[in-house]
Amino acid sequence: MRFGVCTWIFGDMPLDRIADTVARIGYDGLELMGDLQAHRPDAIRAICRQTGLAVLSLTPENVDLAHPDAAIRRSALDHYRRLIDFAHDIGCPIVSCHGAVGRVRAVASQAEEYGYLLGGVAALAPHAAEAGVRIAMEVLNRYESHLLNTAAQAVEFVQAVAHPSVGILLDAYHMNIEEPNPAQAVEHAGGRLFLFHVADSNRAGLGLGHTDFPALAAALKRIGYVGDIIVECTASGPDPFTPVKGEGWREQLGEYLRHSREYLQQHFA
């Protein structure tokens, strides 16, 4: 099991500095924000060689596979296809996928947009398989997305896609909001769980909120999870999606990441 960190939580810090920070703390890899304009495969590979890190997963730009406008859906599909190709080029095993973050209600109907998401992912699955990449459907809370808010919904979705390249990404922070029993949610995902994100209930470092991480770690062991764990905590501030939060936020984030690395070693290794 490898431990990594999402890069978006560092804001506009250059990637080489992010990688150096993450490596010095003792993490194994990165979940890279899928900005295809900002990153070149050769540069990513060079950073990985210099730091000893791996790119464990890619997260997409905020595109919308479920929008009723066909042109918007086509653009989203194109982004995901290019992201899958990029993942293949840098040896990254997983691309995450979710509804548009910040769109919390349907433009058309819930059923129609669920169908669009299902069709889009089903269309991407063979391309991912050919590239040797897996797609992990990220389960977000209701305040960030109106699609796939619980593990049970994600299991139903993945079963409907019915392709071995498509699985589930659960996040302890989102489960803290949506799941009555997060450990049971992990067990329900079972072998379909491709990736696991962690931040505490307040999105701070692990052990600094009220999430029962020992129960989650035990559930992961029960299902035989051998995938990666990605830390996605954020510094405190008024906007959880904007990392620049004033004086001292980088220092606070660094402390969260150091604390989380020790906590992961203690409870999840």
Just list the catalytic residues. Answer: 138, 232
Distance of CA 190 to the CA centre of its chain: 17
Place of tokens 């804001």: 11
Angle between the N-to-C axes of helices 249-267 and 213-222, in degrees from 0 to 180, rounded to the nearest 10:
50
Q: What are phi and psi of 214, to 5 degrees?
A: -60, -35
- Kindly list the distances between the CA atom of residue 49 and the CA atoms of 84, 91, 234, in Å, as whole numbers in the listed order: 21, 13, 27
**CB–CB of 128/134 below 8 Å?**
yes
Determine the Cα–Cα distance for residues 85 and 232; give it in Å rounded to an integer: 24
HEC readout, 17-73: HHHHHHHHHCCCEEEEECCCCCCCHHHHHHHHHHHCCEEEEEECCCCCCCCCCHHHH
- 16 within 8 A of 24, measured Cβ to Cβ: no
